[in-house]
Amino acid sequence: NAGVTQTPKFQVLKTGQSMTLQCAQDMNHNSMYWYRQDPGMGLRLIYYSASEGTTDKGEVPNGYNVSRLNKREFSLRLESAAPSQTSVYFCATRGRGGGQPQHFGDGTRLSIL
Amino acid sequence: AQRVTQPEKLLSVFKGAPVELKCNYSYSGSPELFWYVQYSRQRLQLLLRHISRESIKGFTADLNKGETSFHLKKPFAQEEDSAMYYCALWPQGGSEKLVFGKGTKLTVNP
C-alpha cells in the first residue's frame, strides 16, 4: 500500500516556467489537500478538494491552480513560477467521518530560480 | 475563527529530561485535536489524537477544555525525539479543513 504518492520529489524551475505537481492516493479517501511548508510559517493550505469534482481555495491560493482529476488524483499547477513559490509542497488526504486524521505524502521540494 | 497556537518555535532539552510541547486552541465547540511529528526532511506523521487517549513512543496529550489546551508530554526525552511537532485542530460540523499550529522544533541534546 503506497498511501499518498507525490511526484516529482525534487524540481528546479526558472522564473516564468510552468509545472504540475502530481498527487495520487490509494486510500479511497474523499478529501485531498495541497499545503506548502516554509521555515517559520508552518503549513499553509493552498487548495483542497472535499470530494471528486469539487475544489476550494485555502489560505494561500494565489499563483496556483488545482485539478481533482478523479477520486485518486489531485494535481497542483504553477502556471508561471515565481521565486516566492520556492517551498516544500505536501499533499494530504482524509477519510470521511469524525476523528479521521490527515495522511501526508513525502513532499515535493521545489526551487525556483 | 479557529486557531491553534504553539507558543514555542524552538525547544531544547537534554536526553532523559521531561519535555512538554504546548498547544492552545480557540474554538467554541468540541474540537478534535491531533499531534503530528515530522522528522528531518520526511513527511508529517500522525503521532496521536485526543479521542483515542493512547500513548505513542512514550508521548501523551490530554485535552483540557477549561484551559483550551492540548499539551504534548513525555517524561524522559530521547535523542530520536528531535523533530518538528505540529498541533492540529479539526472543527466539527462539516469542515474539511484541518487547522495547524506553526509548529515547535524539538531538539534533544545528548
**Contact check, Cβ <8 Å, B34/A104:** no
pLDDT of A112 above 90:
yes
pLDDT cut 90: percent of chain B above it: 65
pLDDT score of A13: 95
Contacts of B89 in chain A (CB under 8 A): none
Give the model's pLDDT for residue A105: 96
A 10 A CB-CB count for B83 gives 20
C-alpha–C-alpha distance, residues A91 and B46, integer Å: 14
Q: What is the percent of chain A with per-residue pLDDT over 70, rounded to a whole number? A: 98
Q: What pLDDT, in 10s, does the model give residues A3-58?
A: 999 999 999 999 999 999 999 999 999 999 999 999 878 899 999 999 888 999 99
Nearest to B82 by CA among B43, B61, B110: B110
On whether the CB atoms of residues A111 and A13 are closer than 8 A, the answer is yes
CA distance B36 to B59: 11
Q: Which residue of A has its CA nearest to B42?
A: A106
Contact B98, B90 (CB under 8 A): yes
| Partner A contacted by B3 (CB < 8 A) | no
Tell me if B32 sits within 8 A of B92, measured CB to CB.
yes
**The pLDDT value given to residue A1:** 58
Residues A14 and A113: beta-carbon distance below 8 Å: yes
pLDDT tier, A108 (very low <50, low <70, confident <90, very high otherwise): very high
Instruction: Spell out which residues of chain B touch residue A101, defining contact as CB-CB under 8 Å.
Output: 34, 46, 49
DSSP letter assigned to residue A15: T
Residue ranges of chain B with per-residue pLDDT less than 50: none
Q: What angle do CA B8, B14, B18 make, to 5 degrees?
A: 70
Report the distance separating Cα B72 and Cα B61, nearest Å.
Answer: 5
Give the gap in angstroms from C-alpha B96 to the nearest C-alpha of chain A. 6
B34, closest residue in chain A (CA to CA): A101
* Residue-by-residue DSSP string for B33-101: EEEEEE-TTS--EEEEETTTT--BTTBEE--BTTTTB--EEESS--GGG-EEEEEEEE-SSS----EE-
The predicted structure's pLDDT at residue B44: 94
- B58-69 per-position pLDDT tens digit: 999 988 888 999
CB contact under 8 A, A106 and B44: no
Per-residue pLDDT tens over the stretch A51-82: 888 999 999 999 999 999 899 999 999 999 99
